[in-house]
């Protein structure tokens, strides 16, 4: 029997302050670069979600010492050249970031290893990464389908390439840059549209030099990384669920503290402002090359808008919950250029539309997005998570504005990126 969680609040109002868990993208990269580096790396504010724990587990199997107490992590590595060949398969679980970045890292490492993933990750495309890595000389083999995990990486000498990205994906960019770090010569990656730049910032933090000119990033191979201290800000993609909740639940006002404000991730704030949400942003601070600050969101009357183009990679993970918000906005919200949503943890275009329609939303899908007409009053229903954390959280947030309860099937996937989500939801909605 599958598990179910019910979200039902009598006239909720969200008030108070919230510090969301650490940024998933930055947490992964801190463990990865700390393991490539020689020496000790301390990470505070680490996301103890399942995806990032999969990353830690992989490096332990490669002989890196990693200790964790809650959100404090210490990585003590002999450096990539001293990694050991693992005796077991490396399991990326549900994590696309772990799988894709690791393919890049392992390609130029001294070890041979096989990597697998869960039933969802095993259906997500890997050729977008193994393609460019192959051009660098990577030796990656598969027993069955070469676009999917499991894949075996036979670490080898790599040569630099100049790579023109055919997709807007930070995972692909990062995999090529991390392979480039170990390749002979200078590797360049040119993006179509700028995607999150945490890898570039963190490589700098660990002592590597990169140059950037327009949308081209260059890295010289053979640079050595040294352990350092990393402070992980709150994940704006997790905060986004409660930002949307505060914006659409009457009388709400929530302050998000120490939330990451890297400009390649703040598309959600631009959209909220453009939809008419009252929003205050505090003086930002910086640490580990990343910015963070406080954002206050107040309940507001919402207008529809068009979301597309260069904005998309800056809010790609926020689109499910933004689609929910759009059901409450006046007019027609059109989301375009978001075809990448079709290859996320699930096909998020079809899944979002199917689930929101069960609540009464007026929503149409297009090959690269959605068209949502609002405002529409929503009713309760039983919604599927599809094993996708962001679908599960979207369903729970919907439950704050539906006339009846929302039952979520298979909510446990939410622990992939936000283990204490339901605790934070009930604290805010009852507070």
Indicate which residues carry an active-site annotation.
317
For ligand S3P, give the closer residue by CB, 27 or 328: 27
Q: Is 281 labelled as part of a ligand binding site?
A: no
Q: Which window, 167-175, 212-220, 323-331, 364-372, contacts ligand S3P (CB under 6 A)? A: 167-175
Return the residue of 41, 54, 107, 169 that touches ligand S3P, per CB under 6 A: 169
| Shortest spacing between CB 282 and ligand S3P, in angstroms | 25
Judged by CB under 6 A, the residue of 115, 170, 183, 239 near ligand S3P is: 170
221 is in an annotated binding site: no
User: Residue from 27, 54, 94, 195 that binds ligand S3P (CB under 6 A)?
Assistant: 195
- How many chain residues are in contact with ligand S3P, going by CB under 6 A? 11
User: Measured from the CB of residue 24, what is the shortest distance to ligand S3P in angstroms?
Assistant: 7
Min CB(30)–ligand S3P separation in Å: 12
Give the nearer residue to ligand S3P in terms of CB position, either 302 or 344.
Answer: 344
Is 169 assigned a ligand-binding role in the annotation?
A: yes
| 292/299 with CB nearer ligand S3P | 292
* Among the residue ranges 13-21, 168-176, 210-218, 239-247, the one whose residues contact ligand S3P (CB under 6 A): 168-176
How many Cα atoms are found within 13 Å in the side-chain-facing hemisphere of 226?
2
Q: Contact between 171 and ligand S3P (CB under 6 A)?
A: yes
| Interaction residues for ligand S3P, span 79-98 (CB under 6 A) | 97
Rounded CA-CA distance 160/276 in Å is 47
220 exposure class (CB count in 10 Å sphere: 0-12, 13-18, 19+):
middle
Residue number closest to ligand S3P, CB atom: 25
Question: Based on CB atoms, which residue is closest to ligand S3P, 196 or 201?
Answer: 196
Least spacing, CB of residue 27 vs ligand S3P, in Å: 9
Is 100 annotated as belonging to a binding site?
Answer: no
Which residues from 312-371 bind ligand S3P, rule CB under 6 A? 316-317, 340
What is the closest distance, in whole angstroms, from the C-beta atom of residue 252 to ligand S3P in the complex? 26
Q: Which of 5, 25, 83, 92 binds ligand S3P (CB under 6 A)?
A: 25
State the minimum distance, in angstroms, from the CB of residue 23 to ligand S3P: 9
- In this structure, which long-range contacts are made by residues 166-169, counting pairs with CB atoms below 8 Å and at least 24 apart in sequence? 166/128, 166/192, 167/128, 167/192, 167/340, 168/192, 168/193, 168/195, 168/312, 168/313, 168/340, 169/128, 169/195, 169/313, 169/340
Q: CB 344 → ligand S3P: shortest distance, Å?
A: 6
Phi-psi group of 79: left, alpha or beta (phi > 0 → left; psi -120 to 50 → alpha; rest → beta) = left
Question: Is 124 assigned to a binding site?
Answer: yes
Query: Is 201 marked as binding a ligand?
Result: no
The region of 13-21, 169-177, 254-262, 420-428 touching ligand S3P under the rule CB under 6 A is 169-177
Q: What is the 3-state secondary structure (H, E, C) of the chain?
A: CCCEEEECCCCCCCEEEECCCECHHHHHHHHHHHHHCEEEEEEECCCCCHHHHHHHHHHHHCCCEEEEECCEEEEEEECHHHCCCCCCCEECCCCHHHHHHHHHHHHCCCCEEEEECCCCHHHCCCHHHHHHHHHCCCEEECCCCCCCCCEEEECCCCECCEEECCCCCHHHHHHHHHHHCCCECEEEEECCCCCCCHHHHHHHHCCCCEEEECCEEEEECCCCCECCEEECCECHHHHHHHHHHHHHCCCCEEEEEEEECCCCCCHHHHHHHHCCCEEEECCCEEECCEEEEEEEEECCCCECCEECHHHHHHCHHHHHHHHHHHCCCEEEEEECCCHHHHHCCCCHHHHHHHHHHHCCCEEEEECCEEEEEECCCCCCEEEECCCCHHHHHHHHHHCCCCCCCEEEECHHHHHHCCCCHHHHHHHHHHC
| Residue 32 binds ligand S3P, judged by CB under 6 A | no
Q: Does position 187 bind ligand S3P by CB under 6 A?
A: no
25 among annotated binding-site residues? yes
Q: CB-wise, 174 or 385, nearer to ligand S3P? A: 174
Q: Least CB distance from residue 319 to ligand S3P, whole Å?
A: 10
Binding residues: 24-25, 29, 96, 124, 169, 171, 317, 344, 348, 390
Binding site for ligand S3P (CB under 6 A): 25, 97, 169-171, 174, 195-196, 316-317, 340
Annotated binding site for phosphoenolpyruvate: which residue ranges? Answer: 24, 96, 124, 171, 348, 390
């Amino acid at each position: 029997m599958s598990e179910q969680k019910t979200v039902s609040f009598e006239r909720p109002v969200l008030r108070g302050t919230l510090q969301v868990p650490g940024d998933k993208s930055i947490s992964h990269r801190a463990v990865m670069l700390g393991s490539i580096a020689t020496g000790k790396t301390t990470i505070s504010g680490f996301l103890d979600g399942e995806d990032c724990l999969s990353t830690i587990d992989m490096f332990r199997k490669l002989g890196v010492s990693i200790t964790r107490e809650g959100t404090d992590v210490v990585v003590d590595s002999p450096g990539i050249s001293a990694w050991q060949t693992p005796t077991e398969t490396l399991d990326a679980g549900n994590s696309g970031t772990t799988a894709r970045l690791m393919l890049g890292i392992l390609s130029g490492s001294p070890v041979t290893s096989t990597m697998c993933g869960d039933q969802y990750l095993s259906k997500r495309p890997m050729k977008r990464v193994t393609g460019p890595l192959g051009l660098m000389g990577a030796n990656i083999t598969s027993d069955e389908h070469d676009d999917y995990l499991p894949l075996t990486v036979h670490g080898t000498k790599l040569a630099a390439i100049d790579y023109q990205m055919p997709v807007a994906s930070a995972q692909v960019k990062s995999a090529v840059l991390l392979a480039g770090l170990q390749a002979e010569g200078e590797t360049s990656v040119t993006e179509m549209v700028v995607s999150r730049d945490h890898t570039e910032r963190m490589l700098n933090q660990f002592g590597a030099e990169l140059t950037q000119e327009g949308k081209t990033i260059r890295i010289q191979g053979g640079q050595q990384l040294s352990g350092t201290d990393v402070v992980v800000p709150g994940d704006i993609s997790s905060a986004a669920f409660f930002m949307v909740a505060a914006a659409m639940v009457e009388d709400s006002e929530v302050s998000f503290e120490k939330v990451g404000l890297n400009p390649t991730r703040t598309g959600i704030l631009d959209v909220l402002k453009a939809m008419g949400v009252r929003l205050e942003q505090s003086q930002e601070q910086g640490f580990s090359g990343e910015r963070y600050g406080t954002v206050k969101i107040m309940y507001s009357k919402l207008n529809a808008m068009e979301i597309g183009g260069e904005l998309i990679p800056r809010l790609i993970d926020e689109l499910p919950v933004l689609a929910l918000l759009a059901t409450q906005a006046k007019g027609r919200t059109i989301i375009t250029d978001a075809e990448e949503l079709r290859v996320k943890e699930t096909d998020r275009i079809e899944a979002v539309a199917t689930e929101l329609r069960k609540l009464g939303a007026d929503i149409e899908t297009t090959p690269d997005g959605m068209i949502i007409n609002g405002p529409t009053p929503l009713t309760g229903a039983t919604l599927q998570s599809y094993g996708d954390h962001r679908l599960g959280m979207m369903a729970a947030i919907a439950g704050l504005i539906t006339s009846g309860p929302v039952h979520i099937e298979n909510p446990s996937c939410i622990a992939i990126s936000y283990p204490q989500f339901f605790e934070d939801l009930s604290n805010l909605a009852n507070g």
